[in-house]
């Protein structure tokens, strides 16, 4: 197709994913008129409409759906060509698109950026924070090189490299600090504050308490651990947080931190990437570097 450019494809891919001209333009770091011009040029080259424009956004036509699927495959292949060239030059250099789940990003990402900057000065980290399902989808689509998530993911197309295991800590109001430490059965009878659906940490907390996904007596859901800890400090229940979050979250709320009785709940974090990624060997080495940067003493909760 004469005149077709990578810019056409990347802008169209963003619009297909976002379903909105404004959000797609923001994702591409361009103005909305600039993106609209590229989409109109692309439709002129194709000779048929790819987008159904409406007051609430943009929907793909039937041709647009097929075109979007093929566009993603082309972009993924182009990105892999770039990865092949990078791997052939100097290992672990250039930009790396790393996804990180929200219950890890605020606590480990600053340490990783600093540590990798010292250890691998040629590596430019480009982090993106999102829930696990979004990160895995972006991995499969080639929009990420790797992701730091809770394991296991158990997908045949992905490689998993464990990096860190940490325990969960019970967060209670300070007034409850001297009360007996509850086990899973006791937690089931309490007001358990949880992250909103979609966060893997929510599922891990429910699993420890042996509660179904909709069976907990939580009075609210939050989008961040910080919100949950603040609510506990205000006397609205109890919550669980990972050790790495303790130093950051507990200092700003009047709460008591307690380790749960054995067997204590924990989670395993690791780096995952596509088996077909040309940078696979580099990513395996990166996981080793991350293990050296991230120490087991990710948090220091009170006993």
Residue 226: exposed, middle, or buried by beta-carbon count in 10 A (0-12, 13-18, 19+)? middle
| Count of structural domains within the chain | 3
Mean pLDDT computed over every residue of the chain: 86
Same domain assignment for residues 179 and 158: no
Question: How does pLDDT run across 196-206, given as a tens digit for each residue?
Answer: 877 788 888 77
Same domain assignment for residues 78 and 98: no
Note the pLDDT of residue 3: 84
Same domain assignment for residues 253 and 180: yes
- What confidence tier does 93 reach under pLDDT thresholds 50, 70, 90? confident
Q: Which of 26, 49, 84 is the last residue in one of the domains?
A: 84
For residue 179, give its domain range.
165-266
- What confidence tier does 88 reach under pLDDT thresholds 50, 70, 90? low
Same domain assignment for residues 249 and 186: yes
Other CB atoms within a 10 A radius of the CB of residue 193 amount to 25
C-beta separation of 269 from 75 below 8 A: no
- What confidence tier does 300 reach under pLDDT thresholds 50, 70, 90? very low
Residue 107 belongs to some domain of the structure: yes
Residue 46 belongs to some domain of the structure: yes
Question: How does pLDDT run across 234-278, given as a tens digit for each residue?
Answer: 988 899 999 999 989 988 889 999 998 888 888 999 999 999 888
- What confidence tier does 84 reach under pLDDT thresholds 50, 70, 90? low
Residue 301 belongs to some domain of the structure: no
Same domain assignment for residues 260 and 222: yes
Percent of the chain with pLDDT over 70: 90
C-beta separation of 164 from 112 below 8 A: no
Residue 302 belongs to some domain of the structure: no
CA–centroid distance for 63 within its chain = 31
CATH of the domain at 109: 3.40.190.10
Same domain assignment for residues 62 and 198: no
CATH of the domain at 55: 1.10.10.10
Whether the pLDDT of residue 121 is over 70: the answer is: yes
Residue 299 belongs to some domain of the structure: no
- What confidence tier does 42 reach under pLDDT thresholds 50, 70, 90? very high
């Amino acid at each position: 197709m004469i005149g077709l450019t990578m810019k056409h494809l990347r802008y169209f891919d963003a619009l297909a994913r976002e379903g909105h001209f404004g959000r797609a333009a923001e994702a591409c770091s361009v103005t909305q008129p600039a993106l609209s011009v590229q989409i109109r040029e692309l439709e002129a080259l194709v000779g048929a409409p790819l987008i159904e424009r409406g007051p609430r956004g943009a929907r793909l036509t039937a041709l647009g759906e097929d075109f979007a699927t093929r566009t993603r495959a082309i972009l993924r292949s182009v990105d892999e060509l770039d990865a092949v060239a990078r791997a052939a030059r100097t290992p672990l250099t250039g930009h790396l698109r790393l996804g990180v789940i929200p219950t890890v990003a605020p606590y480990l990402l600053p340490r990783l950026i600093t540590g990798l900057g010292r250890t691998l000065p040629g590596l430019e980290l480009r982090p993106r924070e999102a829930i696990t399902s979004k990160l895995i989808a972006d991995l499969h689509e080639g929009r990420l090189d790797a992701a730091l998530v809770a394991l296991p993911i158990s997908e045949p197309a992905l490689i998993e490299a464990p990096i860190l295991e940490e325990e969960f800590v019970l967060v209670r109001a300070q007034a409850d600090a001297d009360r007996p430490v509850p086990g899973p059965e006791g937690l089931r009878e309490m007001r358990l504050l949880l992250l909103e659906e979609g966060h893997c940490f929510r599922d891990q907390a429910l699993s420890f308490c042996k509660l179904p996904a909709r069976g907990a007596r939580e009075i609210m859901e939050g989008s961040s651990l910080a919100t949950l800890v603040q609510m506990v400090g205000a006397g609205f229940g109890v919550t669980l947080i990972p050790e790495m979050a303790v130093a950051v979250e507990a200092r700003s709320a009047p709460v008591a931190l307690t380790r749960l009785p054995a067997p204590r709940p924990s989670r395993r974090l690791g780096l995952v990437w596509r088996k077909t990624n040309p940078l696979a060997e580099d990513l395996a080495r990166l996981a080793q570097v991350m293990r050296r940067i991230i120490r087991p003493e990710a948090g220091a909760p009170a006993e």
